[in-house]
Amino acid sequence: MKEFKLNNSPKISSGLKTPEDAYFDKFSANLLSQLPKNEPKTISLLQNKRNIIMMVAAVFVFALAIPVLIKNASHSNELDTTTLENYLSYQSTINQDDLINELDLEEIDKIDTDIVLKDQTIEEILISNNNLEHYIIE
């Protein structure tokens, strides 16, 4: 084999050369001159006052709405009188005496109503019903 010396052989040029006139010395100045001169828009905290006021108003609305919503939710759990009467009428363990013992005098006065029945209506009920003892006991 032949002896090969790297320094003596013809070299191939790469085709890439650095520009003349000290290109890299002027590069940063050229780049800055090509950038737009507009400064970035600054937003102060005082311009966001409207958003802050809206957030505070929303918190106050929620704070005022919570008691109203709780009050409405509690009303939905109340029983109406017909449901309560039906429940009590179908319970065999509760009688009139137990109910009267639990009521105050004011509540009893509110319940006390005058029922006016005509004689003819009473006779029809007694004729149609054979269980007269039940009516006599009550």
What is the structure's pLDDT at 135?
65
What is the structure's pLDDT at 45?
67
Q: Could you say which DSSP state residue 38 is in?
A: P
List, in order, residues 6 or more apart from 108 with CB less than 8 Å away.
Answer: 100
Q: Which residues of the chain register pLDDT less than 70?
A: 1, 9-10, 45-47, 74-79, 92, 135, 138
What is the structure's pLDDT at 61?
94
Q: How many CB atoms lie within 10 A of CB 86?
A: 10
The total number of residues written for the chain in this structure: 138
What is the structure's pLDDT at 57?
93
- The residue whose two tokens read 């737009």 is 36
Q: What percent of the chain lies above the pLDDT cut of 70? A: 87
Two tokens at 41? 């828009």
Closest CA to 84 of 74, 72, 105, 99: 99
Environment class of residue 124 by beta-carbon count within 10 Å: exposed (0-12), middle (13-18) or buried (19+)? exposed
